[in-house]
Structure formats: C-alpha cells, structure tokens
Amino acid sequence: MSSWGLAEPRPLPPGQRRTESLRPVHYGRVPRMDLASWSLRIGGDAKGGSTALTWAEFDDLPKVDVRADHHCVSHYTTQDLLWSGVAVRTILDLAPPEDDVEHALVSAAYGYSSNVRMEDLASPRAILATHLDGEPLTPEHGWPCRLVLPHLYGWKGPKWVLAIDYQHHPERGFWEQRGYHFTGDVWREERYAYQE
Ligand SMILES: Nc1nc2c(c(=O)[nH]1)N[C@H]1C(S)=C(S)[C@@H](COP(=O)(O)O)O[C@H]1N2
Ligand SMILES: [Mo]
C-alpha cells in the first residue's frame, strides 16, 4: 500500500500499455463447445500412453485461484484478473510426460495451438481456467476451459483447449509458425521468432 492508502500500480512488462478490461481476441470464429462431448486429451510422449478426461472427471479435480495480469503481444495488458480452475500441475501429475520431455504442444478447437516449454507449463501459476472473476468463462473468452500462463504472452494460452501433447521434438504452434517467438516470455519481451 502507498501512503495514500491505494494499492501500488503493478509493474508493466516492457513495451506494454494498460487497458481497462479484457476484450476477446482470437483468430477465426468462436467455436460451439459441448460439455457432453468435451474431453481433455493428454498424449504425445506421455508416460504410459494417452489419457482423456471427460468434463465430469476434469471438473472433479481440485480447484485453485490465480490472480494475474494478461499481456497480449499486440502491446496491451489487462491487470488483476482472477482465474479459477485446475492447476496445470495437477494434470501433469495425473498424466505425466516420459522422462526428459521438455516441450508440449497445447491444442484447441479449430486447429489453434501453441508450443510451450515444460518448465513454463509446470509453473505453479499455470492454470486450466474455467472461471474469470468468479463467473464461468463466456464463449468468446474460451468456455469451457482455457490455458492461462501469466508470465507468457496471451497467444501461448489457447482458449477452448482440448489437448496437451508432450513432445521430445517440439513442433511450433499456430502463431509460432507465423513469426512469433518460440518461448514468449513477457518479461524478456520475447515477441518475434527473429529474436530467437
Ligand atoms: N483458441 C484460441 N486461443 C487463443 C487465441 C486464438 O486465436 N484462438 N488468441 C490468443 C491471444 S493472441 C490472446 S491475447 C488471448 C486473448 O484472450 P481473450 O480473448 O480472453 O482476451 O487468447 C489467446 N488464446
Ligand atoms: Mo494476443
């Protein structure tokens, strides 16, 4: 708290400006999702093969809250969002990768994907969010479930997430194939592939 009794403004990563609210940003249309057929598949180089969780199984897992800022690579940041859902750690423990896997490809409806390093996915603040600020996600913000990785740019977190594939040999995801950075750390300002 400052001497004025107000919360100090949270620092902004380099090259970012604040915006008041989170506006929906995505490539293509909002997919129609259905909980009855929804599943989260964890596969690729997974120890013991592929696993799929139904919505009921996923929703039964312990829930956590993560308060975080959202940073889009197109230079805006929305601060102080409260995400609720299942910690990614819980999923990694339930369906672990083979030894020495360092990468994953996270996929969503309509072919969107992002490649993520296991060390980023294993962050204690990585969450498969079902709720934002206490309300279920709206369709345009990723209902029923989206990945949130607070220390990476927003594109690294697929909305309408459907699968996590562990990869010994990493593939680039949707934006990473289109000139964006392999890792995407906001504090290191890793925006573009030419910086790699
Ligand atoms: N499936 C999917 N997820 C996505 C995207 C997308 O195009 N498709 N865009 C990403 C980008 S670039 C950002 S900044 C955030 C935006 O989240 P919001 O729509 O909730 O603001 O979603 C990310 N997740
Ligand atoms: Mo973005």
Q: Model confidence over 133-164: pLDDT tens digits?
A: 999 999 999 999 999 999 999 999 999 999 99
Contact 159, 108 (CB under 8 A): yes
Q: Which residues, judged by CB distance below 6 Å to any ligand atom, belong to the binding site of ligand 1?
A: 22-27, 72, 108, 112, 141, 154-155, 157-160
CATH number of the structural domain spanning residue 95 = 3.90.420.10
Q: Could you give the number of structural domains in the chain?
A: 1
In a domain, residue 100? The reply is: yes
Return the pLDDT at 95. Answer: 98
Residue 44, Cβ density class (10 Å: 0-12 exposed, 13-18 middle, ≥19 buried): buried
In a domain, residue 84? The reply is: yes
Residue 167: closest CA among 120, 130, 118, 129 = 118
Average pLDDT, the chain: 96
What is the Cα–Cα distance from 194 to 70, expressed in whole angstroms? 23
Residue with the nearest Cα to atom 6 of ligand 1? 26
What is the Cα–Cα distance from 196 to 194, expressed in whole angstroms? 5
**Containing structural domain, residue 58:** 34-195
In a domain, residue 107? The reply is: yes
DSSP letters for 115-133: EEEHHHHT-TT-EEEEEET
Return the pLDDT at 4. Answer: 56
- Where do the H-state alpha helices sit in 50-176? 55-59, 88-94, 118-121
pLDDT band, very low/low/confident/very high, at 1 (cuts 50, 70, 90): very low
In a domain, residue 130? The reply is: yes
Residue with the nearest Cα to atom 8 of ligand 1? 26
In a domain, residue 51? The reply is: yes
In a domain, residue 173? The reply is: yes
In a domain, residue 14? The reply is: no
| Dist. CA 70 → ligand 2 center (Å) | 9
Q: What percent of the chain has pLDDT over 70?
A: 96
Determine phi and psi for 124, rounding to 5 degrees.
-60, -15
Residue 2 has pLDDT above 50, yes or no: no
Locate 186 and state its tokens.
């906001």
Identify the sign of the CA torsion 183, 185, 188, 191.
positive
Return the pLDDT at 5. Answer: 59
In a domain, residue 113? The reply is: yes
9-20: average pLDDT? 93
**Mutation probe of ligand 1 site: the residue of 71, 81, 155, 161 with most atoms within 8 A of C-beta:** 155
